[in-house]
């Protein structure tokens, strides 16, 4: 009897041990370790962070679309609500495309050639003028800094906008404009201002060239609609 | 024999249900398994020498495992490999117990034959 009892206990204990062992074995079989150098670790870490950001962005988008879908389903009988929703979407897209005038907080950058007293009739005078390349650089910096809408001397910058050298003038959206140039940008004004005024920004080099550069934060920046229509003679929707 | 059968059944059960413990507990688990094995060998020896006591066995089985895991954890936190103490003690006792079991079994067979 005593022996039997011991056998039962040993049996039960052995089952527990067996389960524990199989748990550990499955783990050691699953995880394989690779050793990374600090650089590889850094890369993997940034990759992970980027993926996480993408995931959260996609999740937000998903919720947004789900909400929209819910709204559509909810007001299925009532076509009016769906129409409103579509109209508001069109209005938003028009705003992004530059078809309507917009306003919001942002920065205003005034650019002008250097004072005439600084011109010396030498090759250096070239550096005292605002060129089309300078404007392009500044526009690029603004876009990189998160500007949502940009205009230069009242001309909205859109995807098809050109900044072209035209003698003493610049050509933007088929319009010739002359100095002084006023570039307006809508976005987080503090971020835009700090970004444009950072040491590595192109604006600093313009200041070093002694051009007249003035940047100010503004609570309401008004940007007009784009003045040219985009042609759609050749583009077609791609058939998938 | 009973122990071996239990072990096999346990492993099969574990594989079928595929229970997984978190990765960071796996080293502590190994020490705990060693402690459990030691208890089982102790029980086999005791049953052969007819002085098996279930309460002692159960308390030893779980107590030793918990203590071993706790020691391994503490050693991890302190930076001292304390789990070595558990490994050496339980490993040594395992062999001691096995030696005694072997002798008892051999004597049994001899006296029978």
Q: Where are the domains of chain B?
A: 2-112
CB-based contact (8 Å) between B69 and chain A?
no
Average pLDDT, chain B: 84
Distance from B61 to chain A by nearest Cα, in Å? 8
B112 pLDDT above the threshold of 60: yes
- pTM beyond cutoff 0.95: no
Task: Specify the pLDDT at position A16.
Answer: 84
Q: Output the CA torsion sign for B32, B37, B38, B43.
A: positive
Mean pLDDT across B7-18: 78
Task: Specify the pLDDT at position A29.
Answer: 53
Spatial distance between the Cα atoms of A219 and A203, rounded to a whole number of angstroms: 22
For the stretch B14-54, pLDDT in tens is 777 776 667 677 778 888 888 888 888 888 888 888 888 88
Spatial distance between the Cα atoms of B103 and B113, rounded to a whole number of angstroms: 15
Residues of A in contact with B21 (CB under 8 A): 23-24, 27
Spatial distance between the Cα atoms of A131 and A161, rounded to a whole number of angstroms: 16
DSSP assignments along B28-76, one per residue:
HHHHHHHHHHHHHHHHHHHHHTT---HHHHHHHHHHHHHHHHHHHHHHH
Option in A6, A15, A26 nearest B47 (CB): A6
Task: Specify the pLDDT at position B45.
Answer: 87
Residues of B in contact with A13 (CB under 8 A): 3, 6, 36, 39-40, 43, 57, 61
Please give the domain boundaries of chain A with CATH numbers for all domains.
102-223 (3.30.70.1880)
B10, A23: Cβ pair inside 8 Å?
A: no
**Which alpha helices (H) appear in A174-221, and where do they start and end?**
189-196, 202-208
Option in A2, A16, A24 nearest B10 (CB): A16
Task: Specify the pLDDT at position A83.
Answer: 82
Task: Specify the pLDDT at position A3.
Answer: 67
B40, A5: Cβ pair inside 8 Å?
A: no
User: What residues of chain A score a pLDDT lower than 50?
Assistant: 1
B9 pLDDT above the threshold of 70: yes
A10, B44 Cβ separation under 8 angstroms: yes
């Amino acid at each position: 009897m005593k022996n039997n009892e011991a056998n039962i206990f040993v049996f039960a204990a052995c089952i527990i041990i067996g389960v524990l062992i199989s748990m550990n074995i499955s783990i050691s079989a699953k995880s394989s370790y690779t050793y990374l150098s600090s650089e590889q670790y850094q890369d993997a870490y940034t990759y992970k962070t980027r993926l996480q950001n993408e995931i959260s962005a996609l999740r937000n988008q998903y919720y947004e679309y789900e909400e929209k879908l819910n709204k559509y389903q909810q007001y299925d009988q009532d076509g009016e609500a769906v129409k409103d929703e579509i109209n508001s979407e069109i209005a938003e897209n028009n705003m992004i495309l530059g078809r309507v005038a917009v306003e919001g907080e942002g920065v205003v950058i005034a650019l002008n050639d250097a004072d005439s007293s600084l011109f010396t009739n030498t090759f250096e005078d070239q550096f005292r003028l605002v060129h089309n390349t300078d404007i392009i650089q500044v526009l690029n910096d603004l876009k990189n800094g998160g500007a949502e809408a940009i205009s230069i001397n009242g001309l909205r910058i859109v995807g098809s906008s050109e900044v072209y050298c035209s003698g003493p003038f610049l050509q933007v959206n088929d319009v010739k404009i002359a100095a002084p140039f006023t570039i307006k940008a809508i976005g987080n004004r503090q971020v835009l201002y700090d970004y444009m005024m950072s040491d590595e920004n192109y604006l600093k080099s313009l200041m070093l060239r002694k051009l007249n550069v003035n940047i100010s934060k503004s609570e309401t920046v008004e940007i007009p609609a784009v003045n040219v229509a985009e042609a759609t003679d050749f583009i077609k929707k791609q058939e998938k | 024999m009973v122990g071996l059968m239990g072990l096999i059944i346990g492993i099969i059960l574990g594989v079928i249900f595929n229970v997984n413990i978190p990765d960071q507990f796996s080293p502590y688990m190994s020490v705990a398994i060693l402690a459990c094995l030691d208890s089982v060998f102790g029980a086999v020896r005791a049953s052969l020498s007819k002085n098996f006591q279930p309460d002692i066995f159960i308390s030893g089985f779980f107590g030793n495992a918990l203590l071993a895991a706790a020691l391994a954890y503490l050693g991890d936190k302190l930076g001292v490999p304390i789990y070595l103490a558990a490994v050496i003690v339980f490993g040594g006792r395992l062999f001691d117990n096995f030696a005694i079991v072997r002798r008892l079994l051999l004597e049994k067979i001899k006296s029978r034959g």
